[in-house]
Chains A and B, each alone.
Chain A
């Protein structure tokens, strides 16, 4: 059982950081929504507050790791330019997609949107984490602050969903492969 280095980095970007970040939204939206519904009656204990503060900071960190690894590690491999005369475009995912009118849209719409829309999430979640840390339980008394963090969290969730979905499809039609082979397990 082996995997190429580029495959591994794509997995780390998409499944290690991105999917984990995506999964974390359910908890974040749940707690933020709960504070919105209960309002001033939301009085978490210090342990709960500390845990949720750690949770949001981790989410923001995961969001930054996802976009930075995607933009600066995986994306350069995706958009690599083949040497003149190259006929096998398997190692050049962007060119492979654009070489066929039936797959070009995955780049023209999918990657063109994904590469930008993903960056809304870390900006939004950094703000959300900051506001929760800054105001803590006082947030329960400010409907406007709660509304803002909930709205930005939901939009960040949608942006992450768009980027993640297109990332999965892109990697299906034109996977980023290459680099050194890493043997994970040797057969008998």
Chain B
């Protein structure tokens, strides 16, 4: 992701009563947004993979009472948090192209949603 000038201009106010720099780079916000997209896509991919493969379904059975849902969701949350941590470290103090980040994050969010929709899962598997 290329760096660019932040779209947050200098001189922003301090409504929280805490000392803040004039300009906050958008990197931390972009990291949170893109990580949310990655976590959403991971959730969709894991849900779809569990539906398509009995072996993967069994592998996601982390806690038998909840079944494969336990593995699908906890692994997706783990991916989301790791992605957020890594992106936040990489983009700390930087400004990135938020247009690209938003498009990528929203595309991953929609793809993740579709991959959890049972008729769409069946369509992809030719059922």
Q: Which residues of A contact B (CB under 8 A)?
A: 43-46, 48-50, 53, 67, 71-72, 75-76, 79, 108-109, 112-113, 115-117, 119-120, 123-124, 126-127, 130-131, 134-138, 141-145, 147-149, 151-152, 155, 159
Query: Beta-carbon contacts of B106-127 to A below 8 Å, as 1s and 0s?
Result: 1001101100111100000000
Q: Which residues of B contact A (CB under 8 A)?
A: 6-9, 12-17, 20, 24, 26, 28-29, 32-33, 35-36, 39-40, 43-44, 47, 63, 65-67, 69-70, 72-73, 76-77, 80, 98-99, 101-102, 105-106, 109-110, 112-113, 116-119
Q: How far is the CB of A54 from chain B (nearest CB, A)?
A: 12
Bound form: Cα–Cα A142–B117 in Å:
33
Given contacts A123-B80, A144-B98, A148-B102, contact A115 B69 (CB under 8 A): yes
Residues of B within 8 A of A123 (CB): 36, 39-40, 43, 77, 80
Bound form: Cα–Cα A124–B47 in Å:
18
Query: Do residues A72 and B66 form an inter-chain contact, with CB atoms below 8 A?
Result: yes
Residues of B within 8 A of A49 (CB): 15-16
Bound form: Cα–Cα A152–B109 in Å:
8
Bound form: Cα–Cα A142–B95 in Å:
12
Given contacts A109-B118, A117-B116, 6 further A-B contacts (CB under 8 A): A53-B16, A71-B70, A76-B65, A127-B33, A136-B14, A138-B13
Query: Do residues A142 and B40 form an inter-chain contact, with CB atoms below 8 A?
Result: no
Main secondary structure of the interface of B (DSSP, over half): helix
Give 9 A-B contacts (CB < 8 Å), ordered by A residue: A112-B118, A117-B117, A135-B24, A137-B14, A138-B13, A142-B8, A142-B26, A148-B98, A159-B113
Main secondary structure of the interface of A (DSSP, over half): helix
